């Protein structure tokens, strides 16, 4: 009895004889509208990713070399933007669900390898000054190099260190520390911290703290909310403002810091694998962290290509656990002096 060739899975070619490329799907065969609705991005952006990642995804040492880079990228984008390995997505590009999973893993690692290329603080003086000017134009807060905050992403319960990933809401999550500029471009992203760690503890241990205390600019600061302690390079709001200058400072701080919350909403809206609407990320904490970072890289690339706009709040179920802030001022006298000088110079 003849077996219809349509039922043959691509894994026979993937792991069997020969090294043919599985070109089951062609970008030129579909419309831009279809690509955006199914994979979240237009043709030009997808072609850019093929050029960027193609050599890595075609490496002969990789098991999935029989699947073209184009197909691997489409599979990964489909997962990132829908949060699902549904058969429908695999059928659209002609690969199995198992192959979908391998493609996502390959593309994720390729993007993570390039994270430092797309997520970084500017170094040259002209770009740094432009960064400050853009922030100042928002609400009159001077010297701002970025706004920082944490957000939680739900993951499945890991096999080990289970309790360390349980956040205040009793859910397993990763607590991700991020910094963005005035347009929502990410300047730093640390996506691996266990969900049980409060924001202040994450920052205390983060590479970001080491960078700002030893390397980065001394004539500016980040803005953080009351979950962080005041530092010379991190301006927080006053807990109990009393003077008009203090109220003006807090208002400018809040209006500027709000950009990071809008950025989180934009990322969750675009990359539904992170918003909880399809359930938690079904991977180990390490792999989940890499998926989050890959989405952060894609977020920045999309902004470079003019694709992203401020999005409406995502509809997912994974909300930021509320922190119980201890209303105390920093014991760092130098940090208090810097903030007081800022108040007197710019808000009095």
The domain segmentation of the chain, as residue ranges, is 32-57+67-117, 120-284+330-347
The pLDDT value given to residue 189: 98
Verdict on whether the full-model pTM lies above 0.95: no
Between 280 and 51, name the one with better pLDDT.
51
Q: What pLDDT digit, counting tens, does each position of 135-177 carry? A: 999 999 999 999 999 999 999 998 876 789 999 999 999 999 9
The pLDDT value given to residue 87: 53
- Cβ-Cβ contacts under 8 Å for 272 (sequence gap 6 or more): 80, 81, 82, 83, 278, 314, 316
Is the CB of residue 57 less than 8 Å from the CB of residue 110?
yes
Q: Give the mean model confidence (pLDDT) for residues 18-28.
A: 54
Q: Is the pLDDT of residue 242 over 80?
A: yes
Q: Give the mean model confidence (pLDDT) for residues 5-9.
A: 37
How far is CA 238 from each of CA 165, 179, 228, 229, 246, rounded to the nearest angstrom?
A: 31, 21, 12, 11, 7
Name the average pLDDT for the chain: 84
In DSSP terms, 193 is beta-bridged to: 175
Q: Is the pLDDT of residue 51 over 50?
A: yes
Neighbours of 157 (CB within 10 A): 11
Q: In a 10 Å sphere around its CB, with 0-12 CB exposed, 13-18 middle and 19+ buried, how is residue 279 labelled? A: middle
Phi, psi of 167 (to 5 degrees): -90, -175
User: What does the alpha-carbon distance between residue 288 and residue 274 come to, in Å, rounded to a whole number?
Assistant: 9
Q: Give the mean model confidence (pLDDT) for residues 289-308.
A: 94
Q: Give the mean model confidence (pLDDT) for residues 232-258.
A: 96
Q: Is the pLDDT of residue 23 over 70?
A: no
Q: Is the pLDDT of residue 190 over 60?
A: yes
Write out the two tokens for 126: 């002209």
Between 2 and 122, name the one with better pLDDT.
122
User: What does the alpha-carbon distance between residue 52 and residue 62 come to, in Å, rounded to a whole number?
Assistant: 17
The pLDDT value given to residue 279: 76
User: What does the alpha-carbon distance between residue 89 and residue 318 come to, in Å, rounded to a whole number?
Assistant: 24
Q: How far separated are the first and last CA of the chain, in Å rounded? A: 88
Strand pairing report for 173-180 and 186-194: antiparallel
The pLDDT value given to residue 317: 47
The pLDDT value given to residue 312: 45
How far is CA 275 from each of CA 65, 98, 104, 198, 286, rounded to the nearest angstrom?
A: 31, 23, 18, 20, 18
The pLDDT value given to residue 88: 56
Neighbours of 62 (CB within 10 A): 16
Q: What pLDDT digit, counting tens, does each position of 213-241 carry? A: 887 656 899 999 999 999 999 999 999 99
Q: Is the pLDDT of residue 210 over 70?
A: yes
Q: What pLDDT digit, counting tens, does each position of 74-107 carry? A: 999 999 998 876 555 666 667 778 888 899 999 9
């Amino acid at each position: 009895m003849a077996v219809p060739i349509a039922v043959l899975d691509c894994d026979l070619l993937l792991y069997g004889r020969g090294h043919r490329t599985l070109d089951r799907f062609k970008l030129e065969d579909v419309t831009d509208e279809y690509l955006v609705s199914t994979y979240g991005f237009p043709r030009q952006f997808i072609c850019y990713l093929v050029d960027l990642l193609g050599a890595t995804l075609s490496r002969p040492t990789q098991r999935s070399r029989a699947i073209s880079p184009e197909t691997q990228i489409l599979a990964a984008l489909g997962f990132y933007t829908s949060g699902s390995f549904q058969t429908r997505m695999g059928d659209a590009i002609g690969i199995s669900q198992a192959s979908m999973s391998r493609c996502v893993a390959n593309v994720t690692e390729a993007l993570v390898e390039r994270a430092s290329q797309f997520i970084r603080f500017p170094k040259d003086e002209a770009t740094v000054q432009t960064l400050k000017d853009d922030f100042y134009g928002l609400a009159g807060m001077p010297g701002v190099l970025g706004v920082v905050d944490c957000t939680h992403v739900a993951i499945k319960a890991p096999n080990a260190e289970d309790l360390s990933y349980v956040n205040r809401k009793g859910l397993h999550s990763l607590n991700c520390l991020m910094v963005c500029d005035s347009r929502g471009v990410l300047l730093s992203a640390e996506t691996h911290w266990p969900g049980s760690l409060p924001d202040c503890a994450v920052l205390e241990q983060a590479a970001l703290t080491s960078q700002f205390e030893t390397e980065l600019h001394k004539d500016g600061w980040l803005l953080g909310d009351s979950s962080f302690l005041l530092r010379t390079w991190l301006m927080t709001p006053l807990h109990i403002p009393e003077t008009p200058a203090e109220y003006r400072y807090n208002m400018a701080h809040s209006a500027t810091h709000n950009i990071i919350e809008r950025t989180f909403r934009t990322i969750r809206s675009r990359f539904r694998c992170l918003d909880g609407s399809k359930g938690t990320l079904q991977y180990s904490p390490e792999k989940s962290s890499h998926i989050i970072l890959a989405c952060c890289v894609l977020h920045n690339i999309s902004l470079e290509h003019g694709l992203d706009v401020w999005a409406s709040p995502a509809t997912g179920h994974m909300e930021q656990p509320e922190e119980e802030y201890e209303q105390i001022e920093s014991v760092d006298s130098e940090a208090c002096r810097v903030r007081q000088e800022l108040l007197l110079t710019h808000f009095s």
